[in-house]
Amino acid sequence: MKTLCLRREGIISFVLAVGLAPLAGAWAPIGDDGALRPVPENWEARTLLRETIFASVRDAAAAPRRIVPQTEAGDDVSFTAEVQEDAVYLVFANRKANAFPLADTGTFIIKRSLLDGSFLQAKIFVQNDPGCYLRLFPDGERTAMDIVLYNESFQTHVILPVPFQDLMTSPFSRIVELSRPSVDWSLVIAPERGPGDDRVEGIVQTLRSRLGKLRDMDDGAMDASGKLVFIATGNPAPSGLGGFNCSGFAKWVIDGFYLPLTGSLTDINALKSRDSDLLGKAWSARFEEEQDPYFGLDWSRGLARALAAARTGEMPSPDSLDVKGSRWFEHVKDVGYPVDRLPGLLYLLARDRPGTIYLGSVNARSKGAPQGASMLLRQHHHVVVLLPYFDQAGDFHPVVMERNKETSVASLVRRYGTEYINLVRVDSTGQFVPPELRQ
């Protein structure tokens, strides 16, 4: 049998440094709620290589790469031993199609010290993302477990009443059973796809098919009649040159829901109205006039409210559609959440409200604001559209579209990682037909 080479320079140390984790599992019951999504399992491969796992550390480090067939647990498993600095990493990666991806659900990595051979920890991927993993540690005659979801600490020091070494050849389902009283596994394991996910993915596909036809223009949007204009003045865009900035693009997306309901597009003048209740502070009034710092906040809220009013006949209050709180994430009024926490926040929102998309208003401390007023006077300078959903395999897709193109959450974090983002909810139900550009 041909051995698959998985060596990547420094990959294992990177995996454990950023929190990649190993995981294995089968159908795992959880209370009376039925079963979890099945997780790729490799307990059989680990059992077959038990002598290697528990060999002297030098022998374990010298173990050859191999493909281990499984007859009970599932597909073949790739085993590699990698030495990095003062530790050896024993990696069990499940086959997926024609590859053995490292950062994927089911990978199980055991770390042993090269100095004394002791077992230091194990990591188990719980989703197809390097930021979702379990971390197991020896804790006397027991095992301690940390759970991280999208780089957010979900739970720490969960005690499993068995020795660490017993779990090195155990099914993932045993870990679930041992920790069932303490862990909400229905949230940790990727969900089954639902109708809300179907809707959002359909919207994403529609938008992707149309992005190439859009044009970029500063201060550009469509007015209520569908003409390409400048937002500030309402004047027509130059013939053949009209397009969208970030605000105009978000409006175009929402108009995809609004147009089939009303026969027209959302009104720019209504969207430009200032609704923020931070207005009226003596020290902020001047900045309102000079900088219009809340434009992105009012615009995103206005779009969501206009659509809600078209659907229900009642206009929501200015901030009633804001995401004002989610499990483990503190919300700041009119400011939102740190951009660098978006991956975990969007994951939890997609679990709590499947089928919901979001308008995000990126904001930072306004230039000229008094020192110490950073969370009170913000410049909302960029608007994005966030479309999170789960696919059939349970993989999470936090799709980001902004100013006529698709980017990513990672791109947002790179550009705005020290800033905040306010999120406004938009239900994805109903017909979605983005308007055609007229020129």
Residues 242 and 347 in one domain: yes
pLDDT the model gives residue 368 = 61
* Percent helix / strand / coil, the chain, rounded to 5: 30, 25, 45
Among 141, 162, 188, identify where a domain stops: 188
130 and 211 within one domain = no
pLDDT (0 to 100) of residue 338? 97
Ordered DSSP codes for 190-253: PPPP-HHHHHHHHHHHHHHHHHTT--B-TTEEE-TTS-EEETTT-PBPPTTT--B-HHHHHHHH
> How far apart, in whole angstroms, are the C-alpha atoms of residue 115 and residue 34?
45
User: What's the rounded Cα separation, in Å, for the pair 404 and 216?
Assistant: 7
- 434 falls within a domain: no
Residue 372 banded pLDDT, cuts 50, 70, 90: low
pLDDT at 376 over 90: no
Do residue 204 and residue 80 come from a single domain? no
Range of the domain at 220: 195-427
Q: Calculate mean pLDDT across residues 399-426.
A: 98
Chain mean position to CA 119: 32
- pLDDT number for residue 369: 57
At residue 332, the 3 state secondary structure works out as strand
Residue 370: the pLDDT is 56
Count of Cβ atoms closer than 10 Å to residue 311 Cβ: 15
Residues 170 and 223 in one domain: no
Phi, psi of 170 (to 5 degrees): -95, 155
Q: Are residues 300 and 232 in the same domain?
A: yes
If one compares 74 and 255, the residue with the highest pLDDT of the two is 255
pLDDT at 36 over 90: no
On whether residue 2 sits in a domain, the answer given is: no
Q: Could you say which of 188, 217, 241 is where a domain stops?
A: 188
Residue 3 in domain: no
For residues 331-349, average pLDDT: 96
- Of 430, 134, 174, 143, the residue nearest 307 (C-alpha): 430
Task: Grade residue 9 by pLDDT with cuts at 50, 70 and 90.
Answer: very low
Tell me: the pLDDT tens digits for 124-155? 999 999 999 999 999 999 999 999 999 999 99
Euclidean distance between CA atoms 131 and 398, whole angstroms:
14
Looking at the fold, whether 175 and 214 belong to one and the same domain comes out as: no
Residue 260 lies in a domain: yes
How far CA 135 is from CA of 18, 143, 153, in Å, comes to 12, 10, 11
Lowest mean pLDDT: which of 3-7, 98-102, 146-150, 283-287?
3-7
Mean local confidence (pLDDT), 388-404? 96
Q: Same domain, yes or no, for 253 and 394?
A: yes
Whole-prediction pTM value?
A: 0.86
Write the single-letter amino acid at 190: A
Token pair listed for 294: 């809340």
User: Is the domain of 35 the same as that of 157?
Assistant: yes
Phi/psi-derived region of residue 8, left when phi > 0, alpha when psi is between -120 and 50, beta in every other case: beta
- Comparing CA positions, the residue from 173, 177, 43 lying closest to residue 110 is 43
Residue 5 lies in a domain: no
163 and 221 fall within a common domain = no
Rounded Cα distance between 255 and 434, Å, is 6
Q: What is the DSSP string of 337-364?
A: EEGGGHHHHHHHHHHHSTTEEEEEEEEE
Please tell me whether residues 170 and 249 are part of one structural domain. no
Mean pLDDT for 226-248 is 95
Question: Which amino acid is residue 45, in one-letter code?
Answer: A
Does 438 fall in a domain? no
The answer as to whether 432 is a domain residue is no
Q: Is the pLDDT of residue 315 over 90?
A: yes
Work out the average pLDDT over 271-298.
Answer: 61
Does the pLDDT value for residue 67 go beyond 90? yes
Same domain, 265 and 286: yes
Residue 393 CB contacts under 8 Å (≥ 6 apart), including other chains: 128, 190
Show the tokens assigned to 360. Answer: 């995000």
Q: Report the pLDDT value the prediction gives residue 416, as an integer from 0 to 100.
A: 97
Give the pLDDT score at 204.
98
Strands 66-68 and 337-338: unpaired
pLDDT band at 21 (very low <50, low <70, confident <90, very high): very low
Question: Environment class of residue 317 by beta-carbon count within 10 Å: exposed (0-12), middle (13-18) or buried (19+)?
Answer: exposed
> Would you say residue 435 lies in a domain?
no
pLDDT reading at 46 higher than 70: yes
Q: Which residues contact 265 (CB under 8 A, 6 or more apart)?
A: 222, 223, 224, 225, 226, 251, 255, 258, 259, 435
Residue 372: CB atoms within 10 A of its CB come to 7
- Arithmetic mean of pLDDT over the chain: 88
Could you give the number of structural domains in the chain?
A: 2
Say yes or no: 282 and 330 in one domain: yes
For residue 64, CA distances in Å to 4, 52, 57 come to 10, 10, 14
Confidence bin at 12 (pLDDT 50/70/90): very low
208-211 LR contacts (CB < 8 Å, sep 24+): 208/406, 210/434, 211/401, 211/404, 211/405, 211/406
Q: Give the range among 21-25, 115-119, 364-368, 430-434 with minimum mean pLDDT.
A: 21-25
Domain boundary among 188, 204, 238: 188
State residue 68's pLDDT score.
97
Average pLDDT over residues 13-34: 34
At residue 117, does pLDDT exceed 70?
A: yes
